[in-house]
Amino acid sequence: MVRLRGLLWELSRRRPLDFRFRGLEIPTGETRAAILAELATISIDDVPPSTELEGYLNADLDRFLYTLALVPADIHGTALEIGANPYFMSVLLNQHRPNLKFDYVNYFHPLGARGLQRVRWNGSNGGTHGIDVDFMNVNLEETPLPVEDERYAVILFCEVLEHFILHPYHAVTELWRKLKPGGTMVLTTPNVARYESAVALLEGRNVYDQYSGYGPHGRHNREYARHELHMLMRHCGFTCDADFTSDVHPHYIPQTIAHRHAMWALNLTKHREHDLGQYLFSRWRKTHAPNPRYPHWLYRSYPEGTIE
């Protein structure tokens, strides 16, 4: 037993800190470098990307590519992108899913019911491309979408769920209503149980997001573990078609005692190794009616009879 523990300890020290899903799917005829260069030219209302957005693009390009691969290449019809600004995914979808016609949602308080932003970028062929984004300005936690039910063949709901401060059930069931029967939702969100967080807790560090200069919706207010996301989506009327966790950028974790203890523990709990990526990537189908009550593991202190 002592010898086995010593072997596992040694393995834990050598194991690479990488929880990436399979290789990235790069669109045919493209390279990762070319896509990065193209997205780096995006301007919104003739304002080029800020230093903050440039850093965001460089850090999360692989997340955008994983997300694009979850949108079926042959899908067509009307689609909705939630939280489209700063439009990196919008441009990728415009270029590589041309059979989809998009509506857009952003939430800029206290802007009115709609907004318009001019998005421009330089293509790899040297030409200038653009989208005039006429978006609905909607707080999904409180306000119904001003479109007819069952309008959309596909909804992209990416890096939004974690920003909600009040009512995720309302938002997800509202999107359920706007999807066609059997329609597709692509959902991505940070993984609260990512490896970095596991090590941080062992070291006594906090895993919560900082307060944001963009206000309460600018920070991650509630992140989800993989099994929690499944519970929420089943509760709200969806069935999973595909899901995985993956890193998208390098870990910044020193080879500390806590790191080695974490890796030693993971060698004893092999079923957890696929749940440790930085992000949750998933694709869902609208299949059944939502549960009319709020899930008890997510809500409390609501009137009697409203929580299951």
Average pLDDT, the chain: 92
- Is residue 224 within 8 Å of residue 194, measured between CB atoms? no
* Mean pLDDT, residues 257-273: 75
Over residues 37-51, the pLDDT tens digits come to 999 999 999 998 899
Supply φ then ψ for residue 159, to 5 degrees.
55, 45
**What's this model's pTM, rounded to 2 decimal places?**
0.92
**Is the confidence at residue 11, as pLDDT, over 70?**
no
pLDDT at 7: 41
pLDDT at 10: 47
Strand partners, 188: 158, 281
pLDDT at 258: 72
Give the integer Cα–Cα distance in Å for 194 and 202: 13
pLDDT at 254: 65
- Is residue 283 within 8 Å of residue 192, measured between CB atoms? no
**Architecture of the structural domain at 2-286:** 3-Layer(aba) Sandwich (3.40)
Over residues 69-79, the pLDDT tens digits come to 999 999 999 99
φ/ψ region of 154 (left if φ > 0, alpha if ψ in -120 to 50, else beta) reads beta
**77-82 and 128-137 strand pairing:** unpaired
% of the chain with per-residue pLDDT over 70: 93
